[in-house]
Amino acid sequence: MQNTDRLRDHLPAGLTMSRFLVTAYGPTLLVSFGYGAVIPMLVIQARVLGATAAVAALLSTLVGVGMVLGDLPAGWLAAKFGDKKSLIAACIADALVIGSATFVHQLWLFALIVFVHGLTGSVFGLARQSYLTTAVPLRWRSRAMSSLGGVFRIGGFLGPLAGALVTTHFGIIGVFPLASAMGFAAAIATMLMPDVDNQSATTKSGESVSLWSVLRAHRHTLFAIGWGMLAVALVRTARQVIIPLWCDGAGVSVATTNLIYAVSMGAEVLLFFPAGLLMDRLGRWWAAVPTMIIMAVGFAGLPLTHSALAIAGMSFLIGVGNGLSSGIILTLGADASPDVGRAQFLAGCRIFTDVGTSTGPLLISLATALIALWAAPLALALVGVWGAVQLARHLPMSGQLPMSQER
């Protein structure tokens, strides 16, 4: 209770604790709920519209492509119109677009919807991170960011369950109105959020800063932390693919595979707040570097497992590693972001993370095609070690990453 009181004392004027919790995390929970319900159905809906398996798989990657291409425009939008307006616009636009999939019968138009879904997700993610960076005091930053990651995980876990219930009664097409409703609800929740005094888009003299000038001025900081962030994002996404694939190759049943994956996800959900506490108390290094080492060990051990119990053990270890990293990418970006040009800087950070997210499954595909399935987790282990080295080089062992002072 004492800690809660201290946080309340540092919140922006007009922002009560209850209102902060609802407006900071409510929209994220709603959006991730709809996202979780829709994402598993994209490939299936593409098949319904006549796509081959290869084309359907390609179409599912358009979400990631949209996020990567939307990162820099998202930074410009947040700087131009503010975090709150950008969040509301992203929620409403996504709700309209994803809801329109209910009435679409052409594959190319559905592909466009999937792509725009990625664009709006990029705007939402950046504006949400920028808002929390400004609203939450530094001493609470990691806990705020890790809680944001935890809320997204919870929504991503509950969304597919709701999607399964909806598809049982209304078919696949029913998930799109569900996701649309979540988007509109998130927009309404965001409207309750007070504006935070964020003058990061202008200098002290009142001059506006451009996207490219910010990226150019802080390019050394971006590249210093960016490669480590890319590695974290890559192994995080890849684990969602490699665990089911390894289970399938070992002859594990579908039901048991789902249970193994749920065990891994359970470890992640349980550790998101302790991860933020660890970063705030001891420093970002103690979450970022160990998490990459733990996940690397888990991936390296996966080729040695052949039973469901052994695979579950390695999956749990990978889940523990990923849980300890909850919020680390958001926190590092917030720490390094300058007072002037914050949204634009965060857009540059998201380029690295979204590229990592998009290339994780590609690395698995390449390693499996060129060598064999066992090579894929070993490749991921190497990426984990590389990421640990990158983060260990550039993060202080105590405290936060120094804010970028480049000019």
pLDDT category at 263 given cuts 50, 70, 90 is confident
Rounded (to 5) percent helix, strand, coil in the chain: 80, 0, 15
Residue 143 sits in the same domain as residue 223: no
- Most confident segment among 53-57, 91-95, 140-144: 91-95
221 and 304 part of one domain: yes
pLDDT in tens, 2-16: 444 455 545 555 556
Distance separating alpha carbons of residues 347 and 406, to the nearest angstrom:
17
Residue type, 354: D
Mean pLDDT (the chain, rounded): 83
Whether residue 142 contacts residue 84, with contact meaning beta carbons closer than 8 Å, is answered with no
Average pLDDT rounded to a whole number, residues 9-35: 73
pLDDT of residue 107: 93
Domain termination residue (choose one: 168, 193, 218): 193
Measured torsion, CA atoms of residues 148, 152, 158, 164, in degrees rounded to the nearest 10: 170
Confidence of residue 342 (pLDDT cuts 50, 70, 90): confident
CB 331 within 8 A of CB 395: no
Using the predicted structure, report yes or no on whether residue 40 has a pLDDT greater than 80: no
- In a shared domain, residues 150 and 228: no
Alpha helices, H only, 171-251: 175-191, 211-217, 219-249
Residues 214, 243 within the same domain: yes
Confidence band (pLDDT; 50, 70, 90) for 310?
Answer: very high
Give me the mean pLDDT over the 297-315 stretch.
93
- Domain housing 314: 209-396
- Identify the domain boundary among 145, 165, 193: 193
pLDDT recorded at residue 238: 84
Instruction: Look at 34-38, 207-211, 367-371, 388-392 and tell me which has the smallest mean pLDDT.
Output: 207-211
Environment class of 370 (CB within 10 Å of its CB; exposed 0-12, middle 13-18, buried 19+): exposed
The answer on 236 and 380 residing in a single domain is yes
pLDDT at 333 (0 to 100): 85
Quick: pLDDT tens for 56-107. 767 877 888 898 899 888 888 888 888 889 999 999 999 999 999 999 999 9
pLDDT at 224 over 50: yes
Separation between Cα atoms, residue 34 and residue 30, nearest integer Å? 6
pLDDT digits (tens, 9 = 90+) for 153-177: 788 778 877 887 888 888 888 989 9
Q: Which residue has the tokens 């679409």?
A: 104
Cα separation, 12 vs 385, in Å, equals 40
Any idea which of 19-23, 118-122, 131-135, 296-300 has the lowest mean pLDDT?
Answer: 19-23
Task: Tell me what pLDDT residue 343 has.
Answer: 83
User: 271 or 316: which carries more pLDDT confidence?
Assistant: 316
The average pLDDT across 107-123 equals: 94
Query: Taking Cα atoms as reference points, which of 176, 187, 29, 160 lies closest to residue 97?
Result: 176
Please report the pLDDT score of residue 199 as a whole number: 52
Q: What percent of the chain has a predicted confidence (pLDDT) above 70?
A: 88
Give DSSP secondary structure letters for 74-110.
HHHHHHHH-HHHHHHHHHHHHHHHHHHGGG---HHHH
Q: Are residues 167 and 255 in the same domain?
A: no
The radius of gyration of the chain's CA atoms, rounded to the nearest angstrom, is 21
Residue 18 class from Cβ within 10 Å (0-12 exposed, 13-18 middle, 19+ buried)?
exposed
Q: Which of 338, 351, 330, 392 is nearest to 218 (CA)?
A: 338
Report whether 153 contacts 265 (CB < 8 A).
yes
pLDDT at 300 over 90: yes
Determine the 3-state secondary structure of 156 from DSSP: helix
Number of domains forming the structure of the chain: 2
Please list the residues that pair with 208 across neighbouring strands. Answer: 202
Q: What is the pLDDT of residue 169?
A: 85
58 and 171 fall within a common domain: yes
Percent of the chain past pLDDT 90, that is, above it, reads 28
pTM as predicted = 0.77
Q: Is 206's pLDDT higher than 60?
A: no
Residue 407: predicted pLDDT:
44
Do 324 and 382 have their domain in common?
A: yes
Contacts of 259 (CB under 8 A, 6+ apart): 312
In a domain, 130, yes or no: yes
Residues 277 and 154 in one domain: no
Q: Domain holding 183: CATH number? A: 1.20.1250.20
pLDDT of 302 strictly over 70: yes
If you average pLDDT over residues 301-325, what whole number do you get? Answer: 91
Calpha distance 215→237 (Å, rounded): 26
